[in-house]
Every structure is written in structure tokens, then in C-alpha cells.
Amino acid sequence: MKNILNAPFMVEMIRTTTNMYAHGWDERNGGNISVMLEEKDVAEYLDSDCVLRTIPTGFTAPELDGRYFLVTGTGKYFKNVQYAPDVNLGILRLKDKGQQADLLWGYTDGGLFTSEFPAHMMSHVARLKVNPENRIVMHCHPANLLAVTYVHTLDEREFTRTLWQMCTECIVVFPEGVNVLPWMLCGTNEIGMATAEKMLTARLVVWGQHGIYGAGKDLDETFGLIETAEKAAEIYLKIAHLPRINTITDEQMHLLEKRFGIKGREGYLD
């Protein structure tokens, strides 16, 4: 078997968690990531018959039976992933309609997957229905997006339009907009189900007064989605108290649609 620490998916996971911590998005043990892996890729590094332990998941997701995931651990600090990936990350295979997870690698200190694991898996199920290429669910706490949820209406159309107006690239990067949930208790199946429902229509879901969920086909795309929305939120906070003399108009955003071959969410532009 090859050394799993050299696997491209592991190298990219370590780079991404380190970068997210450096951005200030994942203070302490805040934030979590799950990466759906292909069995053939895992087979180069792990014996799938060697199960370290089996962990109840607390939810049902028959659509994910047999799927492999690389997942951050509960209570783990992103800043430590690069130094001890085998402690802070785990590779799991779901079974029994998603109600059990076989641990194949990681969590060597006896730890478990993130407490947001049900929310992640429910979001994976939702995104696969929309785009079978989606492989990533990423949750973090970008300060500017979080701050905006305190001072801006949580109406999804208005929230999206505000972000679109802050940076020319926003409507190009997330033309489907941003969905928003009001504050809910984290780590529960209830917020997981609510997030998954929102994931059917957008790859970004803001949790009011908490953070954001992003989904995409790879870690770069998902990180970039959140990074772009966070930049827009930062600009909004810098100018929200000032009279706005200029803005990106709906007419200009329609020009961006034509230029980049994208379509903004139905009903969000005049």
C-alpha cells in the first residue's frame, strides 16, 4: 500500500484546513469538512477490509451506503491538522443505510467525526441530486459573513443581491445566490435537514449568527465560493453606513450573465 499521507486528497485536505485556519475562518475547533472519496482512490492506500472500529452515525442516509469520506474530527483544531493528520482526520465508509460508519483510518486518539457529520451527510445527499460531481461539504465561521447576519435582513433574495452588488465576480461565482437559515441549534439533525433542503437550490447556505456551509466538486471550488462571499460581506460592512453613490446595477449583472454564460437565480434580478 502507498503512504496515505501522500495521497492527493490528503495533501489537499491538509493544505485547505491550514489555509482556512490562517484566514481566521476556523477558530479553536470551529468548522468542519467532509470529502467524498472514490473507492478506487482509497484502495491504493488502505485495505478496506481492515475496519478499526464501527461508529453509529445517528441518522439514516441509504443513498450513501458504501460511500467513503475523509472527515475532520470532533473537537479538533484546524491548526493542528498539518502536524497530526491521523489524529485530526478520519476516513470512513458508511453502511447499514448510513446508520453506521466503519473507521478505516484516523482518529487515532479514539476520537470521532465532527458533531456536524449528520448535517454534512444530508447535504451530500441533497447536492448529489443536483450535481453528481459534488464531493465537498465545508463549514466554517467567516467573520464578515457572520457579522452581516446581525445587521442585514435574512431574506434570501435581498441577502444575495447585497453580496452580488459588492463584487463584479459574485454573480459569476455563485449565480444561484446564497440561501439563509435563521439561528438554529447546531449539531442536530434538525439543522442538518434544514441545511440539506437549502442545498437543493444553492451551494452556499448561511447559518444566521453562526457561519456558512459550502458545497462543490472539489476543495478549491468550495473554498473559493466561501472566499468570494466573505470578500463581498467585508466590502458591505465597510460601506453599509455610508451613502452609496455607485453600485453594480441589475442591467450590468445581466451583461455579466451574457458575458460568462451564466444565469442569475430566477426572480433575483429585475
- Mapping DSSP to helix (H, G, I), strand (E, B) and coil, where does residue 78 land? helix
User: Does pLDDT of 42 surpass 90?
Assistant: yes
Average pLDDT over residues 30-51: 95
Q: What is the pLDDT of residues 228-254, one digit of tens each?
A: 999 999 999 999 999 999 999 999 999
Whole-Å CA distances, 46 to 71, 96, 119, 194: 16, 21, 26, 34
Average pLDDT over residues 17-40: 96
Q: For this structure, is 156 an active site residue? A: no
User: Does pLDDT of 266 surpass 90?
Assistant: yes
Q: List the grid coordinates of 236.
A: 458591505
Q: What's the pLDDT at 176? A: 98
Q: What is the pLDDT of residues 78-124, one digit of tens each?
A: 999 999 999 999 999 999 999 999 999 999 999 999 999 999 999 99
DSSP 73: B
CATH code of the domain occupying 1-114: 3.40.225.10
Q: What is the pLDDT of residues 55-78, one digit of tens each?
A: 999 899 999 999 999 999 999 999
Q: What is the pLDDT of residues 172-223, one digit of tens each?
A: 999 999 999 999 999 888 999 999 999 999 999 999 999 999 999 999 999 9
Residue 112 has a CB neighbour count (10 Å cut-off) of: 18
Class of domain 116-270: alpha beta
User: Does pLDDT of 255 surpass 90?
Assistant: yes
User: Does pLDDT of 141 surpass 90?
Assistant: yes
Q: What's the pLDDT at 187? A: 85
Q: What's the pLDDT at 69? A: 98
Residue 254 has a CB neighbour count (10 Å cut-off) of: 15
1-114 and 116-270 share one fold:
yes
Amino acid at residue number 209? Q
For residues 189 and 35, which has the higher predicted lDDT (pLDDT)? 35
Catalytic residue among 116, 176, 221, 230: 116
Cα–Cα distance, 162 to 45 (Å, whole number): 45
Q: What is the pLDDT of residues 1-20, one digit of tens each?
A: 899 999 999 999 999 999 99
Domain ranges of the chain: 1-114, 116-270
Average pLDDT over residues 154-170: 98
